[in-house]
Amino acid sequence: MLARALFLPLLLALLPGLAWADADLGLNGEGGPSTGMAGASLGLDLGASQAWNLSGTYQDTLVTKTASPSFTHAASLGLSYVEGAWDVKGDLDYSNDQVNFIAFAGPGLTLGYTRTHRVKPAAAKPGADPDDDDEADLSPSREEDWRLAFGADIHGYGVDLGANTKRLKLRQLTSSDELYITQFYPNLSLEVPLDHGLLTPSLTYGHYFYNKDPEVVAGLINKRFSSGGASSRVSSLNSGFYYDAVAAGLALRLPAGFGLSGSFGGDNLISPAGWNSVGSATLAWTHGRLGLSAGWSDTVASGAASSDYLGAMNLRF
């Protein structure tokens, strides 16, 4: 309810600005037959100028075919600014699992630097009109050499350990029924476009820090839900309890507005101890103001594999 209370009024307040802003409206759906997962999200991206950008997303996700079913509300707001080669983005995230009484909220900040080089404009055809954009483009442009980004997220997790409590309270531990832990996640990512951006490999690594012993907290959560496949409760947390996270990605630009991307990575999970592996692939197509994409991801955790499927549509207006 808090996510709706914060996000929807802000979204409605921004709608009058669509006349002066470049806007992307995104509708996303995802499903996982093996876990009974179904999710839908609505996103709005506003570009007030070439420098500023405001975005927001609201999502509901339902999981039914596991030992630990869940129903999660999530919302995110982001504001970014670009100045030359530098860019900065701030995020505010909120998520609440209505079934498991596990929630988190907190800000994130990303600072990026993009190294580019000047590209000579194409030579005009003999007799072409220089004022005709269809005949020749003599404007200078720049191509990306590499991009380095440093991110840092701070999330406060609230866990209701009481059997009969209906609402989760995000506050410092005051009784045996409520628990709070703060997670700090600094991370570094690098991408290097090759062959004029035809192929772009990327690499991301991050490490998690906590203000309390995460193994103790994970143990309390597992004990609370011991009657229902408890260990997966911790691993199902969005930005859950991990020690490390690493991922490698590859993006390929295809003809006719198509693009293919994939990634493979792992998360060093605290409880149950061990590495999860996650692989994904996405095919996207853009034509004018319309964008479509379809994707697949596969996760292997504690020896069990699950697959999810994603479809998305974006409209620029």
Query: Which tokens sit at 210?
Result: 């906590």
| Token pair 């859950």: residue | 240
Please give the CATH architecture assigned to the domain spanning 2-120+137-316: Beta Barrel (2.40)
Cα–Cα distance list, 225 to 102, 199, 219, 221 (Å): 11, 45, 10, 6
Cα–Cα distance list, 299 to 306, 309, 310 (Å): 5, 12, 14
60 beta partners: 40, 73
Contact criterion met (CB below 8 Å) for 261 and 278: no
pLDDT digits (tens, 9 = 90+) for 277-313: 999 999 999 998 899 999 999 988 767 777 888 899 9
When pLDDT is averaged across residues 234-257 and rounded to a whole number, the result is: 82
The average confidence (pLDDT) of the chain is 78
pLDDT digits (tens, 9 = 90+) for 196-242: 899 999 999 999 999 888 887 777 766 665 544 444 555 555 556 78
Lowest mean pLDDT among 44-58, 94-108, 170-184, 200-214: 170-184
Contact criterion met (CB below 8 Å) for 260 and 283: yes
- Nearest 5°: the CA angle 169, 172, 177 is 60
When pLDDT is averaged across residues 176-200 and rounded to a whole number, the result is: 88
Local structure of residue 172 (DSSP, 8 states): -
Locate the domains of the chain by residue range.
Answer: 2-120+137-316
| Token pair 């996103």: residue | 43
Contact criterion met (CB below 8 Å) for 197 and 250: no
| Nearest one of 74, 28, 80, 11 to 49, comparing CA atoms | 80
When pLDDT is averaged across residues 19-38 and rounded to a whole number, the result is: 71
